[in-house]
Structure 1
Amino acid sequence: MSVIRTIMVLTLSASMLFSGSALAQERKTVVASFTIMADMARQVAGDALNVISIVPPGAEIHEYAPTPRDILKARQADLLLYNGMGLERWFERFYEGMNVPTAVLTEGIEPIGLEEGPYEGRPNPHAWMTPINGLIYIENIRKALVSLDPDQADTYNRNARAYSERLEHMDRELRTALTQIPDKQRILATCEGAFSYLTREYDFRERYLWAVNADQEGTPQQVRRLIDDLNADRVPVTFCESTVNDRAMKQVTSETGARYGGTLYVDSLTRAEGPVPDYETLLRYNAQQIKKGFDLE
């Protein structure tokens, strides 16, 4: 009897495994350029789609070099999602020759221009750094998924609505937290100028070493200029981003007498066990780090 029972259990398990595998294969696949876009898409898609990120957690997005496996993933996708605004400078070469639909997720966002560096005059691409802009990303994702898979439109509409409500609450939460910082101190000093949308939304001024991640990072000229700016403004705290080297900012911090407030996250989520495994946590974590850095915890 025990042998028969064992065979039955194994047969049932194999059947369930095959059924689950078949279901996964039936779902369409969406490939996003990097982890933050992929997480947003997963929140809207739920279990109705497979969502994959090309750039892995922790990697630098601007100068990413796609692998042959990345190219294969994209060629097999039913939809490609990317930020646009020149963020994924490798994407046009990557996408060339692929017969796969794409959606640009920054469509409808009011851009902030880069004011210096090799990309001066182009839009600052880090538009997702405020939950208010996140709402536009969600809507663009929702429309793209409904167009791809209209049979699941109710699912995508429902998930997008719930996600948007959470981000609206997040905006109120961040506004309350960040506006506790006194107006005269509300200057955000970072390595990359990736916080322009956040500083515009919550009435900060912005100081940084370089405008956007590129070949020239932490040059003596950049360091000297930021030291002078922070001394003139008496900025009490500095930060740097997770995907770049913080050595230059720590030099600035040491020479100005400011505190080093630690790491902020912009271009990448962490793996599940890390501090920012999803977009909502990233926004909340950064706000908490900024508030703590200004000694308001």
Structure 2
Amino acid sequence: MKSWLKNYNFYLILPLLFCISNGILHSQKIKVLSTASMWHDMCKVISGDLVDCDFIVPIGSDPHLYEPTPADLIKVNQANAILINGLTFEGWLTKLIENSGTKAKQIFITKGIKPIESSVYHNATDPHAWMDVENAIIYAENIYLTLTDLDPRHKDEYHFNFQLYKKELQDLNQHIINTVLTIPESKRVLITSHDGFRYFGNKYGIQLEPLQGTSTEADVQSTTLLKVNQVIKEKQIPAIFVESTINPKLIEQIQKENNIIIGGKLYADSLGDSTTLASTYIGMMRHDIDVIGSALRKSYNDIAQHSAVKNTSIYYWIIGFYLISFLLLYYINRK
């Protein structure tokens, strides 16, 4: 009798245990790992709080020169999916995946995008496709489809979020177009540290004059420096720009040589931190175009004149300092 009761109780409890374990499994969020912060942000927006989103390259770091850490191995191993840009952007990723032993799906979110081919290297492409906002819509759709495939129970939520986000991206695209139109056509020249804005320039009608190629590993050529200085003088470009992930030393040198201004800091390979307006993809792109527009609308002559006055003032201050020092020494010696 007792044996029968034990079996009876066991069969009563078994369905309950099944329901609890099933609930725990369904309550666990899928893990989606992005290689960089731009599509990590897209993943967060589209997934809401339904997915555990993380990324590899830290905010402010250069993805071209990134060296993975032991912590990255754990992230990759535990991921259900990895969102990858491809197009030669993550040269360090293949080895990281192999060493991690991960079973994660590898999702190339640039699928459907026409890449810009390198004019220098055979079979090489420019990886910075997200700098064209219409391409970013393709990124977002690929992420949405990935989430739906991994977690079909929440496909309606993902679809709703994607549609809202798509509309925000379309509005952003129009804002960039409108802002470029406010820049005098002859001044639509963007001089930056590296060639991270080629898609941006091609899409929105801005001439690109970068110091380095698409990868920051490339050396700056003397011929490039000569060309950039020539373009500044011929087109009377009022401003050049530093980038958030690249040493600004060379840009600052060019700025001083030409008596122009640093127009501001631009973001391309990384979002800004949480204290900046560039902490989201949309915020990053809006920040970039607003900074570019504001700086390139300035008058080259006014900036050059202001720089000349400033330099002259400094010169007079130095003369004044030495003159006063000389008079004080003369007065002390007479005593």
Shift of residue 296, structure 1, vs aligned partner:
5.8
Query: Match for residue 161 of structure 1?
Result: 163
Shift of residue 138, structure 1, vs aligned partner:
0.6
Shift of residue 292, structure 1, vs aligned partner:
1.1
* Contact 2:238–2:298 (CA under 8 A) maintained in structure 1: no
Distance 1:218 1:254 in 2: 18
Consecutive unaligned residues of structure 1, counting only runs of 5 or more, are 1-21
Q: Secondary structure at the match of 1:210?
A: coil
Shift of residue 239, structure 1, vs aligned partner:
0.7
Query: Match for residue 47 of structure 1?
Result: 49
Shift of residue 270, structure 1, vs aligned partner:
2.2
Q: CA 1:290–1:24 in 2, change beyond 3 Å: closer, same or farther?
A: farther
Query: Match for residue 7 of structure 1?
Result: none
Based on CA coordinates, which of the two structures has the bigger radius of gyration? 2
Shift of residue 99, structure 1, vs aligned partner:
2.0
* Contact 2:83–2:107 (CA under 8 A) maintained in structure 1: yes
Shift of residue 115, structure 1, vs aligned partner:
3.0
Tell me which moved more, 217-226 or 230-239: 217-226
Distance 1:61 1:238 in 2: 23
Query: Match for residue 33 of structure 1?
Result: 35
Shift of residue 130, structure 1, vs aligned partner:
2.3
Q: Secondary structure at the match of 2:274?
A: coil
Shift of residue 24, structure 1, vs aligned partner:
10
Q: Which amino acid aligns with 1:115?
A: S
Query: Match for residue 109 of structure 1?
Result: 113
Q: Which amino acid aligns with 1:159?
A: N
Q: Which amino acid aligns with 1:285?
A: H
Q: CA 1:25–1:248 in 2, change beyond 3 Å: closer, same or farther?
A: farther
The reply to whether residue 186 of structure 1 matches residue 188 of structure 2 is yes
Q: Report 1:90-239 matches (<5 A).
A: 90-96=92-98, 97-116=101-120, 122-239=124-241
Q: Which amino acid aligns with 1:246?
A: P
Shift of residue 23, structure 1, vs aligned partner:
9.2
* Contact 2:183–2:297 (CA under 8 A) maintained in structure 1: no
Distance 1:135 1:51 in 2: 19
The reply to whether residue 278 of structure 1 matches residue 280 of structure 2 is yes
Query: Match for residue 6 of structure 1?
Result: none
Consecutive unaligned residues of structure 2, counting only runs of 5 or more, are 1-23, 300-335
Q: Secondary structure at the match of 1:263?
A: strand
Out of 219, 244, 247, the position equivalent to 1:245 is 247
Shift of residue 281, structure 1, vs aligned partner:
0.4
Query: Match for residue 290 of structure 1?
Result: 292
Tell me which moved more, 98-107 or 285-294: 98-107
The percent identity for this pair of structures is 29
Q: Alignment length, in residue pairs?
A: 274
* Contact 2:32–2:83 (CA under 8 A) maintained in structure 1: yes
Distance 1:212 1:50 in 2: 31
Distance 1:104 1:282 in 2: 22
Distance 1:163 1:86 in 2: 27
Q: Which amino acid aligns with 2:73?
A: I
Deviations 1:140-199 (A, max 9, x none): 101111111111111111111100000001111111111111211111111111111111
